Structures are given as structure tokens and as C-alpha cells.
């Protein structure tokens, strides 16, 4: 019976963190692609973006700076999230970008926002809300054992043991 219990624990230990890895990869890729889409058209903000009403915390920035900051932020923080590098901080930054996007673009389009913008995909706040919930999970849980953060913690403990012995 002990064999079965220890086998079960070893099996669970080996898959512990795979859910967080999958979540990081999925969410990070979504943001990297969104940032790439923004910046692939150039650093010049489109006209529709310039006409948006931004929240006070970023309204003082010029429109071009908001456009570039959103695109670069999505790409850099999305990549960091995929790697599990500064996972909680990266997720928090993406959560802020998501808040600004919902405030400026998505909320007024309603829940799904289907066919209200010239695209087949919905542009309402449903998808950003789902991404925000996933980001909250990463802020609270961290990146898991398959993240660069976990390897950094392991290396720090290893280095500390070497110094103290």
C-alpha cells in the first residue's frame, strides 16, 4: 500500500506546475501576438486609437506613447510570462494593460461585441475579462516549478548553501 501512495505522490509531483505552465504559455502568447499586431503596422497610432478616452493614469501620455507602450508592454511582458520570468510582476503589468484596453475599447462594445468592429472576432470585454482572470491566477500562484523564477530560487538556495558551508 505504501508503494501505491508513494507512486501517486511522485506522479503528482512530476505534473505539479504543468497547469501553470500551460496557462503562462497560452496567456503570454495571446499578449505577444496582440503586441506584434499593434506594432507591425508601425509606431504610428491609428486614427481610431487617437480618438479614444483613456483612464486618468495614462491619459497624460501622448497617443503615440500609449500605442507604443501598449504594444511593447504586451510583447515584453508576454514573453516574460511565457518564460516564467518575474511571473507575478509580468502578470500584474499585463493586468494593467488589460484594464486600460477594457476601459478604452472593449467595455463600450458590450459583453461579446460581435461584429461591432470590422472583424469576425468579438471585441467586447468577455475575452479580456477571461484573460484578466487567468492573469490574477498567475499573480496569486506564481509561475510554478517550470518557470525561470523557480530555477532562480533554486540557484539562490544552492548558492547560499555553498557560501554558508
Q: pLDDT (tens digit, 9 = 90+) per residue, 4-37? A: 668 778 777 778 889 999 999 999 999 999 999 9
What interhelical angle do 126-141 and 18-40 show, nearest 10? 130
More confident site: 121 or 109: 109
Arithmetic mean of pLDDT over the chain = 85
Alpha carbon distance 4, 164 (integer Å): 38
What does the domain layout of the chain look like in residue ranges?
A: 20-164
Give 39-82 pLDDT, tens digit per residue. Answer: 998 888 888 888 888 998 898 999 999 999 999 999 999 999 99
pLDDT value for 140? 96
What is the pTM assigned to this prediction? 0.82
Amino acid at each position: 500500500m505504501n508503494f501505491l501512495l508513494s507512486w501517486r505522490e511522485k506522479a503528482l509531483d512530476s505534473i505539479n506546475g504543468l497547469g501553470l505552465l500551460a496557462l503562462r504559455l497560452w496567456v503570454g502568447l495571446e499578449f505577444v501576438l496582440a503586441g506584434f499586431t499593434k506594432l507591425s503596422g508601425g509606431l504610428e497610432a491609428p486614427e481610431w486609437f487617437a480618438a479614444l478616452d483613456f483612464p486618468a493614469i495614462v491619459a497624460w501620455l501622448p497617443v503615440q506613447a500609449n500605442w507604443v507602450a501598449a504594444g511593447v508592454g504586451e510583447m515584453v511582458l508576454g514573453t516574460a510570462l511565457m518564460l516564467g520570468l518575474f511571473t507575478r510582476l509580468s502578470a500584474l503589468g499585463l493586468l494593467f494593460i488589460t484594464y486600460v484596453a477594457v476601459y478604452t475599447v472593449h467595455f463600450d462594445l458590450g459583453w461579446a461585441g460581435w461584429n461591432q468592429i470590422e472583424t469576425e472576432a468579438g471585441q467586447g470585454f468577455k475575452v479580456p475579462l477571461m484573460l484578466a482572470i487567468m492573469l490574477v491566477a498567475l499573480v496569486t500562484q506564481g509561475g510554478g516549478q517550470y518557470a525561470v523564477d523557480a530555477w532562480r530560487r533554486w540557484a539562490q538556495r544552492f548558492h547560499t548553501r555553498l557560501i554558508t558551508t
